[in-house]
Amino acid sequence: MASEMAPRDASPLAVVLGLLHADAPGQITGAPQDWPRWAVLLPHVLAATGHLGTVPAPEAAAGPDAAWLLDRAAAYLRVHARLADARPLAERALAMAEAAYGPDHPAVAIRLSNLALILRDLGRPQDARPRAERALAIGEAAYGPDHPDVATRLSNLAQILQDLGRPQDARPRAERALAIDEAAYGPDHPDVATDLNNLATILYDLGLPQDARPRAERALAIDEAAYGPDHPNVATRLNNLALILQDLGRPQDARPLAERALAITEAAYGPGHPTVATCLNNLALILQDLGLPQDARPLAERALAITEAAYGPGHPDVAILRKNLAQILRSLGDDR
């Protein structure tokens, strides 16, 4: 069988970038089994892409591979909360994709969408929104309104609108994403679980925990069946279901779910990751509702310390965690 070879006149850099592209796992979010490979490849990807522009005109041959590698490197850094490092890589990947394909290509939509998610994590949903909207417009023009890629863009935009305090605008987009993915994949696909989870959090924000709960429970069941009980996606579903149960006045049922989510997340990401801080904060609030502020306090303090270290003191999540800790301290008679 003939193998696909680099053209004989391809630059050495183009060959290296092609080989890295062939070796690097494409799925990063929700794929912890591939993170060790990316940890090995990342310095090589950064070194190789760093030579672009310093050797004679390799961009035409190497541009698509370089853009893909930079985008995936940014995704890996995002998963590991290295957002300041991820953003310039994602911006460069977008610029290279636009140069290689033009402004309206589906590959450009992917780069826009991934950059939007990084900006969202940085606490800048107002900057994320136009990129997510442009990604959606490109996807709809390329594939039509009912394609799974369009569902992904809708789901990302819904989350950004939710962060902007507009859950009422997020809801129809999340519902449309769910309908598209169920039609494309069937009712038990992990992408459907993601859509259900996102819709559940929007309904929770809209003050509809009774409507959120069955969707969150279904998302959890799908992901446990797909990934097993100890996957980071399962932890996310557990965490969100715990919040919903707490809002329904059932903190005693929420606690074991939140504790399990924390254990899974610490095992997947390590003790200092912002996702661990989210789990700690949520468990602290549940313990507070259970009348255990003395147990809640160290968890809330640790959540705040992790988030400040990861994002800096000006991030919106830091303000939320400070407020939650202050509430716990007040219940303990400490008015600091």
Longest dimension (CA), the chain: 75
One fold for 86-209 and 228-336: yes
Segment 25-54 mean pLDDT: 88
pLDDT of residue 6: 43
Helix (H) or strand (E) holding 240: helix 232-247
How far, in Å, CA of 285 to CA of 327, rounded?
9
Q: How confident is the model at residue 283 (pLDDT cuts 50, 70, 90)?
A: very high
Q: How confident is the model at residue 29 (pLDDT cuts 50, 70, 90)?
A: confident
Query: Where along the chain do its domains lie?
Result: 86-209, 228-336
The yes-or-no verdict on residue 165 having pLDDT over 80 is: yes
Q: Supply the mean pLDDT for the chain.
A: 92
The HSE-up count of residue 303 (CA atoms within 13 Å, CB side) is 27
The yes-or-no verdict on residue 231 having pLDDT over 90 is: yes
Q: How confident is the model at residue 164 (pLDDT cuts 50, 70, 90)?
A: very high
The yes-or-no verdict on residue 45 having pLDDT over 60 is: yes
Segment 178-205 mean pLDDT: 97
Q: How confident is the model at residue 53 (pLDDT cuts 50, 70, 90)?
A: low
pLDDT of residue 267: 95
Q: What are the distances in angstroms from CA 135 to CA 3, 112, 155?
A: 34, 6, 12
- State whether residue 40 is helix, strand or coil: helix
The yes-or-no verdict on residue 274 having pLDDT over 90 is: yes
What would be the CATH architecture of the domain defined by 86-209? Alpha Horseshoe (1.25)
Q: Does domain 228-336 have CATH number 3.40.50.300?
A: no
pLDDT of residue 54: 47
Segment 97-123 mean pLDDT: 94
pLDDT of residue 58: 45
How many beta carbons lie within 10 A of that of residue 300, not counting itself?
Answer: 26
Which tokens in the block code for residue 281?
A: 């904060």
Q: How confident is the model at residue 32 (pLDDT cuts 50, 70, 90)?
A: confident
CB 204 within 8 A of CB 212: yes
How far, in Å, CA of 215 to CA of 209, rounded?
10
